[in-house]
Structure 1
Amino acid sequence: MTYETVDLSGKVAVITGASSGIGESLARLLHAHGVKLGLLSRSGKDLGLDGSLVRAGDVGDRATVEAFVADTAAEFGRIDIAVANAGVGSYGQFLDVPTAHEDEMIRTNVQGTINLYHAAVPHIVAAGGGDLVTVASEAGRRGLPGEAVYSASKFAQIGLTRALDNELREKGVRATNIAPGGVWTHFAIDDHRGRTDGSEQLQGMMRPDDIAELIYFVLTRPRHFRILETALRPMTEAQWG
């Protein structure tokens, strides 16, 4: 019996937070499989992926995201996949986390995801269906100490994606939450966000390529079923709750 997976060659994907970490790994993997890419990040870093559309911007600004998605659709003629990957974190006791960090987590993690899907969903429906993939977190499945507002933002992402699954399934749109535990990136290292480069906490964490490969697996499953959520943890990370 032959198991028919989805061939992504020629598909069009928009990815936020695409300049480093999980976003960069995913962009490189999808490009290697023939996917045409629209890449948005704060820096607008060009990854050298031939034919990709690259934009700099803040996902928390709806006009910026709408323009990015519209430019991608105009460049490639359609959009099949939207990956809400942009995210920021800040770790510490609830009363000690700076208000500016709290505001940024809500703006980037929650409003940024809403903005991307608001802009991309009409194009994906018009293309006859496709995929929404939200890079959430284990923190969005459990309320974790030292991660109160971050957890809240990730719970919001997971709730949004689950609701969109219910709304869009009959239109051929699959909506999947990816909920990793610790991933070794520069996430939350800068600006006194609770992690420091080289800290023991980072040892043994998963790598961005691990998450990119999982997203690729989700996207290539046959379209007669959908994966609602995947949760994964490094072997060095204890079970919470």
Structure 2
Amino acid sequence: MTSLEGKVALVTGASRGIGAAVARQLAAHGALLGLASRAGDDLGIEGAVARPTDVRDRAQLAALADETVARHGGLDIVVANAGVGAYGPFLDLDAELADEMMDVNAKGVINTAAATVPHLIARGAGDFVSVASEAGRRGLPFEAVYCASKFAQVGFTRALDHELRPQGIRCTNVCPGGVATDFAMDEGRGRTPEMPELPGMMSAEDVADAVLFVLTRPRNHRILEVAFRPMTETSWG
């Protein structure tokens, strides 16, 4: 197991849910952090660089990456986690929600890479972890546009692996099934606190553990994809 002590990590979507769990897990293992979220929350983590950041805006991401590098001396890890969701029949999906999912989930990870990968290359090694979804590995009913956005995210990260491996950078898709957070809980997005599926779902900390596992593997190999689901969730193939 490779230590994260003194490593510098940038996490997007870091103010709540999976992003916050990942940030706390990395900090607990000695990483220095840059935290991107719309709220700009530093989660009370000592020394963390945090600023309000919309992943749809590449300039905002670049500013946070530059500030993180300036304070901590470089960048070793990027966890592209920011995401939004909306569920329901495709023909009932509001066009603005469809656009938001494509912009945040697909374009957001591209913008994150554009702002951070040059710093990983400058370091001579690193990890780019994309927190995607099982919805990025197979089509699912009532998730058509969400699946499309996550398929794009998964495909982008797989392609990036080919380009960056020769430069010592590992690229990994982490693809969880159902996770019990407030994701997509806003009105009209398809999830409610009363959903009977929620108690059987995984926790944000479960996903953070998977990210930690990926990041702490010896540098002589890389993990391309981690896919996992709660025991209560049907296997689709």
Report the TM-score, using the length of structure 1 for normalisation: 0.97
**Counterpart residue number, 2:179:** 183
Worse-superposed segment, 87-96 or 198-207: 198-207
User: Aligned pair 1:170/2:170, yes or no?
Assistant: no
**2:80 maps to 1:84:** yes
| Pairwise CA distance, 1:202 | 1.3
CA–CA distance in structure 1, aligned partners of residues 159 and 26 of structure 2: 26
Partner of 1:119: 115
Give me the identity figure in percent: 59
The alignment status of 1:136 with 2:136, answered yes or no, reads: no
Instruction: Give the RMSD, CA atoms, in angstroms.
Output: 0.8
Q: Which residue of the partner structure matches residue 66 of structure 2?
A: 70
Q: Separation in 1 of the partners of 2:178 and 2:108?
A: 21
Q: Select the residue among 231, 234, 237 that pairs with 1:238.
A: 234
1:131 match: secondary structure: strand
Give the SS at the match of 2:227: strand
Please, which runs of 5 or more residues in structure 2 have no aligned partner?
none
**d(CA) in 2 for partners of 1:119 and 1:151?**
25
For residues 76-114 of structure 1, give each alpha carbon's deviation from its aligned partner in whole angstroms, at most 9, with x where no partner exists.
110000000000000011111111111110111011100
Q: Is the 2:14–2:23 Cα contact (8 Å) retained in structure 1?
A: yes
2:13 maps to 1:12: no
Q: How does 1:27-106 map to 2 (within 5 A)?
A: 27-106=23-102
Name the aligned partner's letter for residue 234 of structure 1: P
Instruction: Give the distance between the partners of 2:53 and 2:27, measured in 1 at CA.
Output: 21
Matches of 1:132 and 1:191, distance apart in 2: 33
Letter in 2 for 1:224: N
Equivalent pairs counted in the alignment come to 237
Cα deviation 1:160-208 (Å, max 9, x = unaligned):
0000100000100000000100000000011310000131121200000
Note if contact 2:35-2:41 (Cα within 8 Å) is conserved in structure 1: no
TM, length-normalised to structure 2: 0.98
Alignment partners' CA distance in 2, 1:199 and 1:9 = 40
* Structure 1: runs of 5 or more not aligned: none
Q: Which amino acid aligns with 1:176?
A: T
CA distance in 1, matches of 2:221, 2:71: 30
How many Å separate the matches in 2 of 1:8 and 1:191?
Answer: 39
Q: Separation in 2 of the partners of 1:128 and 1:7?
A: 17
SS in structure 2 opposite 1:200?
A: coil
